[in-house]
Structure 1
């Protein structure tokens, strides 16, 4: 079975009746897909998603890049495997109509926390077609929560897409900011207090609202803005 056939097989429910014949003995244990995923996540956790290339991954596995293509089709396929692994760690609640807002917000928070463990990995989720079973499981669970809460199917489907897109973008921005602080662009990044002072010092006649609300523009700690935006999106669904 070639890598493309393996990839297609991963998108199908497991077949308990499937049997495989005996495999020839090898001197060295072959690399598995799970090892590829584990190693890729380790590279991202320690060096960031931008450092993950097929060559870098092959080096971490002590093999050649060509060997990886026996397990993954290409970088996009690897991205799908990585996001699927993170999705496998999410706990999806049984939909409760009376608690649908809290439930959908909770799932978004879980996704956020998974992404932030691996700097920049949310980039892999952008423009990715959700075909892996674990990824579809998450979108299915979110869809079930929204529909149970009375959201129309079309609005629910688009809302799941919008929420996941926001979570990915939010996490990506955080990873980029942290990367700039660590590398040689660190001096370019200003802290909240300095930014507030810069905005307040602008010509008030040209920027009346920016100068007046400089404190509000720079307010928020931790994930305050994330919580606000997710709640805003959910409230919008409720009003529809």
Structure 2
């Protein structure tokens, strides 16, 4: 069942000789519970596409529909409500609050939305256990390794009832071992919680954990690969074959 529909999306930056067509007539359909990797080299348009979906950027033309909600035509107050209720983020830079403990960072989205911490306590415990960070709950971000900080950021992104998890180069600041651990966790989270994940990455080794990959070049989708039941290793081989 389609959850996100992008049709005829166009986005330009600059003007005259400096005009850049960041996105050109993008058509993309994403099903509920799908784990989609958006790949492409620097300047291919992948981050611009993600920014349009998450309302950071406004497209010049085209439509973006998320569960019958028209993102492009919505007012700013409606977009703020859409973001709060539907989208969680994982960033390369973690974006943890340094003066808050691990536990306080995780529950921050609930506090901002005025939700009951007690009502979510079981989910908080389950997520912390799944991410193996229960023993870190009273530590501060500056006491954590990069991999631990990213797991805390992931827990924070999962704690509310968001339907769409957006991960923008989440492994960019991690070594290969922690990158593999994080992507394996995202794959497991996708399977366990059924949350739709949009991953932007330039790395085939990260994309191999997705259920589907679209490849962008010069603002256009030039390939669309479905896992079709392949193992991570065989899927990675297919991604390499199609992206070289």
TM-score by length of 1: 0.27
When you count strand as a share of all residues, which structure comes out higher?
A: 2
When you count helix as a share of all residues, which structure comes out higher?
A: 1
Structure of higher RCO (CA pairs closer than 8 Å, 6+ residues apart): 2
TM-score by length of 2: 0.27
